[in-house]
Amino acid sequence: MLHSRLKRVEQEIQHELARILAYEMRDPRIEMVTPTHVKISKDLREAVVHVSMLNDDPESGAETMAVLEAGKGYIKRLLASRIVIKRLPELHFKLDTSLSKAFELFKIMDKALEEDGSGRMKDEEGRMKDEGGSMNGNDE
């Protein structure tokens, strides 16, 4: 039961934070910031909020995190007015870089396909297949 309550509180905080960051915060340095995940401690005292940004520049990431940390009190006050809970957890923001890492991985995969020159990928057994996934003349 406690686990499901934690999940509901995490989801509600993430949902409301997304609305607050999108519509309430007027700072242009956090325009394209989205909470991707919220993890709350079991005693509901601390919450780690993972946020992603559209701009993957490390300097702007550090600046964005500083703005979020500075505005933490205001954000918490807005959350408290929207979420009915006995004790609202202390917020800690952490930059989520998984999206930029995924883009880097896709770029590496595209580059490998270009270097191959054929535009085809190999299946698990090392046979070449076209982009549609069918085998080229190797059907048995």
Residue numbers of the domain that contains 44: 2-96
Q: pLDDT per residue over 68-78, tens digit each?
A: 999 999 999 99
**106 and 38 part of one domain:** no
Mark out the alpha helices in the chain (DSSP H runs): 2-19, 58-70, 72-82, 98-116
**87 and 114 part of one domain:** no
How far is Cα 137 from Cα 140, in angstroms, rounded to an integer? Answer: 9
Looking at residue 16, what is its pLDDT? 97
Count: domains in the chain: 2
Which of these, 17, 14, 15, lies nearest to 78 by C-alpha position?
17
Relative to beta strand 90-95, strand 46-53 is parallel
Looking at residue 114, what is its pLDDT? 78
**57 and 113 part of one domain:** no
**Domain-embedded: residue 140:** no
CATH code: domain of residue 30:
3.30.300.20
**53 and 107 part of one domain:** no
Which of these, 138, 109, 114, lies nearest to 126 by C-alpha position?
138
pTM metric for this prediction = 0.71
**42 and 110 part of one domain:** no
